[in-house]
Structure 1
C-alpha cells in the first residue's frame, strides 16, 4: 500500500496559529494533528508515505524525521494551487501497477478500523469514507443505492443524503486511479479554477467502477479554532495524562500535562492540554490548548488556544463589593 497525505494549504481558518507553522503541526490533546493521524496509519505498514507539501514542507519533513524516523516517506511540493485532486495526482510517479492507495487529508482526525479495508472493499473498487451529519448543506455528500455510491452532491439544498465525505479514500487500483486523475485534469474539469476529487470519482462511476461509503466512528475536525477545541475535548475523554510538575494545584479531569510543563498554584481543567516547556502560575484554565514554552500567570481562561512561546500575564484584582451586588466580568 502507498499512502498519500496532502498537507499543503495555508490553514487560513486557523490563523493566527498557522502564520508560522503548517496547519497539520497545530497541537490538540497533547500531540500535533499530524501525529494523531500518522499513529492511526502505522498499522497499515505502508510501503511508502507520500506527503504533498507547500512552502512549509521542510517543517513536515523535520517533524516526521524526529517523530517517525523509521517510516518510509517521500515529499513532493505542490507549486501551483490547483486543488486537492491536482495535489493527489502529484504522487503519480510513486504509484506503480499493483499498488493500492489510501488518501488521507489532514484537516480531520478520523476514528475507524482501517484494517477492515480488505473486507469492506472485497466487492468494489474503492471506499469513500463518510459520516452521517445533520448539517448536510455544508458538505459534499455521497448518494448510495444498493450499497454503492451512485452520485455525489456538493452542499445539497435538500437531504438527498446525509453521508458527508470526510477526506479519507481507499483505491484498490492505485495506478488506475492516477490515470483517471490525469484524464480529469486534461479535460479541465475545474470548479473556480481547482480540481476536486468528486469529479474524478464520478468519472470512474460512469465507467462502471463501484465505490462503497463506509461510515467512520468519529470525524474530528481540526480546521477552525472552535472545532479544534471540540476535538481536544473528544480526544481527552477518558484520559488523564499528567507527566509534568504540578505544585499546590488542582487538576480537574481530563487534562493532558506534558513532561516538562510546570503548574503552580492553579486550577487546571477540565479539557486542558498543556505542552512541554509551559509554566502556568496562579491561574484558572479550562477547555483550552496551551502550546509549547508558553507562560501564563494570574489569568482566568476558558475556550482558549495559545500558540508557542506566548507570555500571557494578568493581574490580581482588589475589590470592595457590597451586599446584593451583581458583577459580570466578561472574558
Structure 2
C-alpha cells in the first residue's frame, strides 16, 4: 500500500507560523503534523506501507530530506513531488501520478484524527467522514440504506448531509482514480475554479464503484492558531501516559508541571507553573511564568509570561505580561524593557 500526501498549501490562516515552516511540519506535542498523520494511517491500514509520496510546494531541500526520513522511519520509500500552482485537490494528486499505482490512501495534511478500526481493503474505496454542525464549508457525502455513498457534494449551500469528508481516502485502484482525474483535467471540468477530487469520485461512483465510510472518533483541525492550540491539547490528552516522563536533559527547578504536557530535550523551567495542555519544544527556556493551553516551539525564551491559548514559534523571545498571543519564529516581544 502507498500513502499519497498532498501538502503544498501555504497555510496562510496559520501565519505567522507558516512564514518559515510549512504547516504540515509544525510540531504538535513534539511531533510534526504530517508525521503524526502518516503514523496514524499506518496503524489502521492493516498492511505494510511501501511508499509515502509527498506533494509539496517550493519548500527546499531540508524539508524534502525531513519528509523522506519520516517515510523511511515507517519502513517505506519516501518520494517528493512538486505542485507549482494551486489548481485544486485533483490536480494535487495528479502531480504524484508516477506513484499512483495499486491500492493507496490519499491523505491531505491539514488535519489529524483518532480512529479505532481496520481499513476495509476489499471495497472499491473508503471515504473517511465526521459528522459536523455546519457542513457548508466541506465536501459531504449522502448515503443509501446500506451505508454506501450515493452522492459527493462539494460545499453545499443548502443542507444535503452533515457527513463531512475529512480529507482521507482509500482506493483499491489508484489507476482508476487517475483515469477520472485525467478526464476532468483534459476536459477542463472545474468546480469553484479548481479541479476537485469530489468530481472524480462522483464519476467513479456513477460507473459502479462502491464507496463505504470510514468513521473517525475525533477529527482535529490545524488550520489556524486557535484550532492548532486546541489540537495540541487533545493530542496531549490522548497520549498523556507517554508524556508522563520528561527527558533527563530537561532542567526543572522550583516549578509545578500540571499534566498533560510535552517537555522537549534540554528544556529549562524555573519558578514557573506549566500546564495543563502545554508543549515546550527542544531547548526552550521558561522563567517566572505561568503557561497553560499553549504550544511553544524550539529554542524560545519566555520570561515573566502569563500565557494561555497562545502559540509561539521557534527561536522567539517573549518578556512580559498576561496575554493570549500568536508569535512567529525569530520574533521578539518585550514588555519588560524600560527603553
2-structure distance, mates of 1:191, 1:158: 17
Q: TM-score, normalised by structure 1?
A: 0.89
Q: 1:3 and 2:6 equivalent?
A: no
Task: Note if contact 2:306-2:321 (Cα within 8 Å) is conserved in structure 1.
Answer: no
What's the CA shift for 1:266? 0.3
Paired position in structure 1 for 2:133: 134
After superposing the two structures, state which structure 1 stretch, 264-273 or 76-85, moved more.
Answer: 76-85
Unaligned stretches of 5+ residues in structure 1: 317-331
After superposing the two structures, state which structure 1 stretch, 155-164 or 300-309, moved more.
Answer: 155-164
Aligned with 1:255 (options 251, 256, 261): 261
SS of residue in 2 equivalent to 1:130: strand
- For residues 1-331 of structure 1, what are the structure 2 equivalents within 5 Å? 1-43=1-43, 44-69=47-72, 70-96=75-101, 99-113=102-116, 115-118=118-121, 122=122, 124-146=123-145, 147-237=147-237, 239=240, 240-241=243-244, 242-243=246-247, 244-314=250-320
Q: Aligned in 2, Cα 1:115/1:140: closer, same or farther, shift over 3 Å?
A: same
What's the CA shift for 1:158? 4.0
What's the CA shift for 1:195? 0.8
Cα shift readout 1:79-134 (whole Å, capped 9, x = no counterpart): 222111101012212233xx11110000001222463333xxx3x31111100112
SS of residue in 2 equivalent to 1:260: coil
Q: Aligned in 2, Cα 1:66/1:205: closer, same or farther, shift over 3 Å?
A: closer
Task: Note if contact 2:287-2:302 (Cα within 8 Å) is conserved in structure 1.
Answer: yes
Q: Aligned in 2, Cα 1:162/1:57: closer, same or farther, shift over 3 Å?
A: farther
1-structure distance, mates of 2:160, 2:40: 31
2-structure distance, mates of 1:156, 1:191: 12
What's the CA shift for 1:191? 2.4
After superposing the two structures, state which structure 1 stretch, 67-76 or 101-110, moved more.
Answer: 67-76
Q: TM-score, normalised by structure 2?
A: 0.87
Unaligned stretches of 5+ residues in structure 2: 323-339
2-structure distance, mates of 1:71, 1:21: 24
SS of residue in 1 equivalent to 2:120: helix
After superposing the two structures, state which structure 1 stretch, 66-75 or 253-262, moved more.
Answer: 66-75
SS of residue in 1 equivalent to 2:119: helix
What's the CA shift for 1:259? 1.7
Cα shift readout 1:247-269 (whole Å, capped 9, x = no counterpart): 11001111111121111110001
What's the CA shift for 1:60? 3.1
2-structure distance, mates of 1:84, 1:303: 31
Task: Note if contact 1:296-1:313 (Cα within 8 Å) is conserved in structure 2.
Answer: yes
RMSD (CA atoms): 1.8
SS of residue in 1 equivalent to 2:20: coil
What's the CA shift for 1:67? 4.7
2-structure distance, mates of 1:48, 1:192: 32
1-structure distance, mates of 2:62, 2:310: 25
Task: Note if contact 1:54-1:77 (Cα within 8 Å) is conserved in structure 2.
Answer: yes
Larger Rg: 1
Q: Aligned in 2, Cα 1:235/1:202: closer, same or farther, shift over 3 Å?
A: same
Cα shift readout 1:33-79 (whole Å, capped 9, x = no counterpart): 11211222344422211111110153432223455545311111112
